[in-house]
Chains A and B, each alone.
Chain A
Amino acid sequence: MTIIAVASIVIAGITISLGSIGPALAEGRAVATALTSLAQQPDASSTITRTLFVGLAMIESIAIYCFVVSMILIFANPFWNHVIAQTAGK
């Protein structure tokens, strides 16, 4: 029973911390490239800005998936609920 709790908490922490590294680096690169191309071609700024935002949303989704998984592990954990239901039944 404590194994489930310990595993859930530890993995929730690891999920969100490791899962934010990749998207953060990728978003930094995307914004840097967008700034470079904005400096080179200011006329296309609306297209570049819109494409940048769409791309950032796609990258951000990965971090959101990791966040949702860790939230599920902490707050809506089915294994923990099952264990609680069993101990409540005894």
Chain B
Amino acid sequence: MHLTPDETIFWQYGFFKLNATIAFTWALMFVLAGGSRIVTRRLSTGLDRSRWQNLLEIVVTAIEKQIQEVGLSESRKYLGFLGTLFLFVATAALCTVIPGYQPPTSSLSTTAALALCVFVAVPAFGIAEKGMRNYLKSYTKPTVVMLPFNIISELSRTLALAVRLFGNMMSGAMIVGILLTITPFLFPIVMTVLGLLTGMVQAYIFGILAAVYIAAATRAAKPKPQPAQTVAA
């Protein structure tokens, strides 16, 4: 049973295996980075611009607005990280229409790597924003008793990020594979469309959850309300 693209190995040298996951991940990276490089070679700031620049601007401003709505008011700082997460997972899901392609996110290695990136980025952004002492103090809020639970919740939501994306992408591919042996005509196409929809939703969820975690880590404490001053008569 073909569970993950990890099992398709193109070339092997001792410990290092060049499997389909690595190959498709690098292909996606070239498509995204190379395509953006070609489009942004000649940017125009006037009203007359190429349609590809328009497309990229729509994508970037939409992601920026979403990040702002989550609560991160300086969205440009986090746009690189969060935008890349969303675009990578979304492109990995969209390219399923290409025959012979298996999404690299249907392998637990890729999703674990992405979740580890979020796991490292959340304290990094929190410390950059609030300073080490304030960030570490936030683990003891609301009381010191919550310290182990806060740490456990950090670890478990990283695991949940990885398993959620992996489970959704792997089940989409597997359902299509199983249906192909049972009812080969209509249902595999319908399930592929459903797989595209869930892939895009999961990409959005991954990006928004990473943004929510970063917003929670960088949120400055609200100032305590001052008691009302009495006006001297």
Contacts and interface: CB of A to CB of B under 8 A. Distances in A.
Contacts of B96: none
Given A54-B209, A67-B171, A60 B1 contact: no
A54 B205 contact: yes
B117 to A, nearest CB: 18
Contacts of B208: 50, 53-54
Contacts, number: 41
A4 B171 CA distance: 25
The secondary structure that dominates the A interface is helix
A83 interface: no
Contact of B163 (A46, A54, A65): A65
B34 interface: no
B105 to A, nearest CB: 13
Contact of B164 (A53, A64, A71): A64
Nearest to A57: B205
A75 B3 contact: yes
Range for the number of chain A residues in contact with chain B: 10 to 19
Interface of B: 1, 3, 66, 69-70, 160, 163-164, 166-168, 170-171, 201-202, 204-205, 208-209, 212
9 contacts: A50-B66, A50-B69, A53-B204, A58-B160, A64-B164, A64-B168, A64-B171, A68-B167, A76-B3
Closest 4 CB pairs of A and B: A64-B167, A57-B205, A61-B164, A75-B1
